[in-house]
Amino acid sequence: MGAVSVRDVTEANIEDVFRVCSCGRLEDPIQKEGIEIRRHWLREMIQEYGTCVKIAYLEGKPVAHLMFYPEEAVPFLSSTREGVVLLRCVYNPFEEARGKGASTALVSSLIEDCRGSPKFLKGVECSFIVSEPFNTGEGTPMEKFYASSGFVRRGDEMIYEINGRYVLPKRLVWNPDHANKEAATVIYNPTCEYSYISATRVRDAINILYPNLPVWLIDQWQKPEASLSLANEWLVVKGTPIKSGLKDRKSFDAEIKQAVEGSS
């Protein structure tokens, strides 16, 4: 078995992030737009926090990725928990490199950093690491992997305690008065190249149904106040938050129609 090594992402190896997360799609024009948005965000995070991604290398090749940052870095939360590190995602897209300990080494490296005084916490002691796992249907589900790495479930979150005890997050409350009743708003995240891509697909899908309905795409980190006012709902159409995604196109279209026609 080849040797696994872990490196923090800095300006020097920033492109390895995309070699992992966008593998096989690096030349796709829309993917390139998502990558550009994320590269800009990553550079700002590296300047402010030193790093926010770890990459695992197997025999020198970047194969797995782990992204994290202090909750206090997130601009679109009404309150944040001190010393909490958000583990956003872990990903190894390479079938032949799976089950070789690359992602386990990434999580171990993050835990080890959090037990010390990592630069990204700016002198604050780490209380716990928290993640909201999601399932893409690819590889091992994140939830299963985190559980095997020692994380335990607390409500919607999975956590790993370092120096503190778990504290519940404060959830935002949806207020329909804050929504634009004449348009659709799609919120995307610059932290993942796929988020922008899926926002453009959602815009296109709405345009097919209602070509005259304005659709605003909002970068959550660039315009946190807009995201906050919508309680971080990812898609709001004429004042109605939409729950279905494009994966279930029939339900998605039905919800959009209900939101548009129910509002007139």
Q: What spatial distance separates the first Cα and last Cα of the chain, rounded to whole Å?
A: 63
Applying CB under 6 A, the residues found at the interface with ligand COA are 64, 89-92, 98-104, 136, 138-140, 142, 145, 148
Beta bridge partners of 89: 67
DSSP assignments along 155-212, one per residue: TTEEEEESSS---PPPPP---GGGS-TTSEEEEE-TTSHHHHHHHHHHHHHHHHH-TT
Closest distance to ligand COA from the beta carbon of 108 (Å): 9
Beta bridge partners of 218: 187
- Measured from the CB atom, the residue of 4 and 259 that comes closer to ligand COA is 4
Q: In the chain, how many H helices and how many E strands?
A: 7, 11
Closest distance to ligand COA from the beta carbon of 212 (Å): 34
Closest distance to ligand COA from the beta carbon of 97 (Å): 6
Q: Which residue is nearest to ligand COA (CB)?
A: 139
Closest distance to ligand COA from the beta carbon of 170 (Å): 26
- Measured from the CB atom, the residue of 191 and 240 that comes closer to ligand COA is 191
Q: Look at residues 256, 224, 262 and name the one whose alpha carbon lies nearest to residue 243.
A: 256
* CA–CA distance, 205 with 27 (Å, rounded to integer): 24
- Measured from the CB atom, the residue of 144 and 181 that comes closer to ligand COA is 144
- Measured from the CB atom, the residue of 99 and 214 that comes closer to ligand COA is 99
Closest distance to ligand COA from the beta carbon of 137 (Å): 8
Q: How many CA atoms lie within 13 A of 54 on its CB side?
A: 25
- Measured from the CB atom, the residue of 62 and 83 that comes closer to ligand COA is 62
